[in-house]
Chain A
C-alpha cells in the first residue's frame, strides 16, 4: 500500500525549483516572441508570392521538421561559437531556429484566410501602410498568432535534447530537471511533481491563448 506524502511538493516549492521554473518560462517566452518577430514579416512575404513559389517555400520550411532533432542539435553544436556553449542565449538561438516553422505555418494560413481587398479598401480610405497593418492586418491574424504562440511556447517548454546538449549541463531548465530526477536520480515523486507543474503550465498557456483568441479577434 503506497503511503501518501507531500514531501515532493514541499521540495518543489523551494527557491531552487522555483528559479528553474521561472527560467524555463522566461526562455520559452523569449523564444516565442523572437520567432513571432521573425516569422511575421516572412509570412507576409510568402503570402504575397505566386502559388508555386509559396508551395516551394512551405516545403523548404517543412523539411527540417522531418529531419531528426538530434541532427539539428548536433549541427548547432558545431555551429555555435565555443563561448556560447552552455549559455542560455545559445540554447535560445537553437530553439528558435528549430521551432520557427511552427509559428510560420499558422501565421501564413491566417494571412491567406482574409480577402486582400480589405487592405486596398483601407488604403483607399486614407490609412497609411502602418495604420493598415495595425488596424486591419494584425487584428485579422490574431487566430494565427495565438495558434503559433501555443505551438512554439509549449514544445519549447518541454524540449529536452537542445538544452541538454547545447547547455552542456550548465543550463538548468524544467525539462532537464525532470529527466535528471526521473532517469538518473530515480527521484520519481519529485520528477512527477515537476511534470504536473509543466502540464498545468501548458494548459494555462493554452487556455490563455484560447481566451485571447476569443476576446481579440473581430
Chain B
C-alpha cells in the first residue's frame, strides 16, 4: 500500500517536472497562433504571423547566415575532432589524460568567458571581424565537444578489427576508410549535429566576435526581443523548434548499430 502510494507520487512529480520544463515551449506554440497584434493578449486563432514571418527578408538572411556558420563550424570541428581522436589513440595513458583534461576545461567554463577571451584575442591580433571570426570562435568551442565524442568512439573500437584488416593486406589508408570510419560513423553524425546545434543556437559567443552588421539568427531575434514582445517572433520560434525536433529524429536514425551500418554499405569508401 505504502509502496504504491510512493510510486504514484513519484510519477506525479515526474509529470509535473516535465510540464515545468515544457511550459515555456507550449506557451510559444500557443501564442504563435494568436491573431492579436499585442503579444500578450489572446484573441482569435489565426495563422497570420506565419504569413508575416515569410515576408521578412532580414530574418531569412539571418537564418541563412546562421545555417552557413553552423555548417562550416561543425564540419571544421568534426575534421579536427576526428584527427585529434585518431592521433592521440596511439599515445600513452598519461598523455591521453592530459589532452582530455585540456579539452574538458573549455567545456566547463561558461560561454561568456569564452566570448570575452575570444574577443580580446581577436582585438590583440588585429583581425578584421566578420563571419569568419564567428566561425573560428565556434570552432574553438565546438572542437572540444567533437573531439571528446570522437575520443570516446575511438576508445570503444575493437583493436583486433584493425589488426585483422592489416593482416589481410590493407594499407593504413584503406584501414582508415574501410574499417575505422564506418565503425565510428554514428559518433561522427552525433558530433556533427551537436556542434551544429550549439553553433546555430549560440548568441553570446557570436555577439562578442561578430563584425558590425553581421547578424546571425539568435542575434537578430535578440535585437527584436529587446524592443518588446512581437507576435511574429513566436511563429519563427515554432519553425525553429520543429527543425530541432527533426534534428533529434536524425540522431535517432543514425544511431543504428555500427556493424550493421558497415555491412549494409557495399562500398564503405563512399561514406
Indicate if the CB atoms of B112 and A175 lie closer than 8 Å: yes
Cβ–Cβ < 8 Å partners of B18 in chain A = 57, 60-61
Cβ–Cβ < 8 Å partners of A202 in chain B = 108-110, 113
> Nearest CB to that of B237 among chain A residues?
A71
Question: A68-B218, A76-B24, A191-B116 are contacts. A154–B244 as well, Cβ < 8 Å?
Answer: no
Residue B117 at the chain A interface, CB threshold 8 Å: yes
Docked CA distance A202–B221 (Å): 29
**Surface stretch bound by A, among B75-83, B88-96, B196-204:** B196-204
Indicate if the CB atoms of B116 and A154 lie closer than 8 Å: no
Indicate if the CB atoms of B233 and A41 lie closer than 8 Å: no
> Nearest CB to that of B39 among chain A residues?
A78
Nearest Cβ in chain A — how far from B240, in angstroms? 6
Cβ–Cβ < 8 Å partners of A161 in chain B = 203-204, 222
Interface size class of chain B, counting residues whose CB lies under 8 Å from the partner chain: 35 or more
Cβ–Cβ < 8 Å partners of A69 in chain B = 201, 203
**Surface stretch bound by A, among B7-15, B131-139, B140-148:** B7-15
Docked CA distance A188–B117 (Å): 11
Indicate if the CB atoms of A38 and B116 lie closer than 8 Å: no
Question: A42-B17, A45-B10 are contacts. A78–B25 as well, Cβ < 8 Å?
Answer: no
Question: A62-B248, A79-B27, A100-B17 are contacts. A195–B113 as well, Cβ < 8 Å?
Answer: yes
Q: Residues 66-81 of chain A: 1 if any B CB is under 8 Å from the residue's CB, otherwise 0? A: 1111111111111100
Residues facing A in B85-130 (CB within 8 A) are 105, 108-113, 116-117, 119-120
Cβ–Cβ < 8 Å partners of A199 in chain B = 109, 113
Nearest Cβ in chain B — how far from A156, in angstroms? 9
Question: A97-B20, A160-B204 are contacts. A75–B27 as well, Cβ < 8 Å?
Answer: yes
Indicate if the CB atoms of A41 and B13 lie closer than 8 Å: yes
Indicate if the CB atoms of B201 and A63 lie closer than 8 Å: no
Docked CA distance A150–B110 (Å): 11
Question: A63-B244, A64-B22, A100-B17 are contacts. A78–B116 as well, Cβ < 8 Å?
Answer: no
Docked CA distance A154–B120 (Å): 22
> Nearest CB to that of B24 among chain A residues?
A75
Cβ–Cβ < 8 Å partners of B152 in chain A = none
Residue B65 at the chain A interface, CB threshold 8 Å: no
Residue A149 at the chain B interface, CB threshold 8 Å: no
> Nearest CB to that of A78 among chain B residues?
B27
Indicate if the CB atoms of A72 and B203 lie closer than 8 Å: no
Residue B225 at the chain A interface, CB threshold 8 Å: yes
Residue B49 at the chain A interface, CB threshold 8 Å: no
Indicate if the CB atoms of B13 and A45 lie closer than 8 Å: yes
Cβ–Cβ < 8 Å partners of B24 in chain A = 71-76, 78-79, 94, 97
Residues facing B in A134-183 (CB within 8 A) are 150, 154-155, 157-161, 165, 175, 178-179, 182-183
Docked CA distance A67–B29 (Å): 12
Cβ–Cβ < 8 Å partners of B33 in chain A = none
Indicate if the CB atoms of A192 and B120 lie closer than 8 Å: yes
Task: List the 9 shortest-distance A-B pairs measured between CB atoms, nearest first.
Answer: A158-B110, A75-B24, A45-B10, A66-B244, A75-B27, A71-B237, A195-B116, A72-B24, A75-B28
Residues of B whose CB lies within 8 Å of any CB of A are: 7, 10-11, 13-14, 17-18, 20-28, 31, 39-40, 105, 108-113, 116-117, 119-120, 197, 201, 203-204, 207-208, 218, 221-222, 225, 229, 233-234, 237, 240-241, 244-245, 247-248, 252
11 sample A-B contacts, Cβ–Cβ < 8 Å, listed by A number: A42-B14, A57-B14, A60-B22, A62-B248, A70-B203, A74-B24, A74-B234, A75-B26, A178-B112, A198-B113, A203-B105
